[in-house]
Structure 1
Amino acid sequence: MRPAVDVIIYHNPGCGTSRNTLAMIRNAGIEPHIVHYLQNPPTRLLLRQLIQRANLSVRDLLREKGTPYAELGLGDAALGDDDLLDAMMAHPILINRPVVVTPKGVRLCRPSEHVLDLLPPQQGAFVKEDGERVIDGRGHRAAEG
């Protein structure tokens, strides 16, 4: 029996990458704490801590696609971290996802396979929603190419 592993995923169920990441966490035999961050965004302090623990810049966690990024002028290089955090707090859709927290660290899991570095071994085969085989039947990463 595996020891319990505490995992948190900041999840958007409307995002395929987020759904695939969640499925790989479950394929490792873990039922994570799921934070639907669009409805329950992290506090400003927690968001800053997640960014630091993931070794990202605030801008690295800023999502452009499908967000008000352009309308808010967030591409302006003169905007500082506080300005970007203000925008993320006002519009949580600007927070890129999924962010996963485990005892091994914090990571923005784009692509979804990044989560594998934070988890115990997979318990069986895994195929992404788009049909891409990621894990073979023995729980190992599928051969590339």
Structure 2
Amino acid sequence: MTKIYHNPRCTKSRQTLALLEEHGIDADVVRYLDQPPSEAELTEIIRLLGIEPKQLVRTKEKLFAELGLKGAELSEAQWIKTLADHPKLIERPIVVHGNRAAIGRPPENVLEILR
């Protein structure tokens, strides 16, 4: 099963979804701004990506500064809660394919997990 955490307003997200379709992958599209992932889902996504929670944060997003997160020293659990509470801060798009995941920046990154 393949899932893409998608923002239709994002060019990279649209390109990644198109790339999946070009490769015959019928992905479950999750509009994560409308259906934010839970803390448990985020924890699993981060594990599959093999990154720290803070690496999934869009630090250039205006909301990041508005929330006073620049220079913040948060625990992994606190970063995950922040992402769950403010899905706009989640890096996008994220593709989960089986037990692997990739961030589609650039979109071709997801081809690695489809093999």
Question: After TM superposition, is the score higher than 0.5?
Answer: yes
Residues 32-51 of structure 1 aligned to structure 2 (within 5 Å): 32-51=27-46
Q: Secondary structure at the match of 2:65?
A: coil
Output the CA distance in 2 between the equivalents of 1:12 and 1:44.
19
Q: In the alignment, what sits opposite 2:7?
A: 12
Amino acid across the alignment from 2:49: A
Where relative contact order (Cα < 8 A, 6+ residues apart) is larger, the structure is 2
Is 2:90 aligned against 1:86? no
1:30 shift after superposition: 1.6
Contact 1:28/1:119 (CA < 8 Å) preserved in 2?
no
Output the CA distance in 2 between the equivalents of 1:15 and 1:66.
13
Residue of 76, 97, 101 corresponding to 1:102: 97
Structure 1, 56-65 or 17-26: larger mean CA deviation: 56-65
Q: Secondary structure at the match of 1:69?
A: helix
TM-score normalised over the length of structure 2: 0.91
Structure 1 stretches of 4+ with a deviation exceeding 4 A read: none
More helix by share: 2
TM-score normalised over the length of structure 1: 0.73
1:69-90 deviation per Cα after TM superposition (whole angstroms, max 9, x unaligned)? 0111212242222222222122
Amino acid across the alignment from 1:9: I
Q: Which has the larger radius of gyration?
A: 1
1:35-94 deviation per Cα after TM superposition (whole angstroms, max 9, x unaligned)? 000000111011011101110110110012334101112122422222222221221101
Q: In the alignment, what sits opposite 1:27?
A: 22
Output the CA distance in 1 between the equivalents of 2:6 and 2:56.
14
Unaligned runs of 5+ in 1: 1-5, 121-145
Cα RMSD (Å):
1.4
Q: In the alignment, what sits opposite 1:137?
A: none
Unaligned runs of 5+ in 2: none
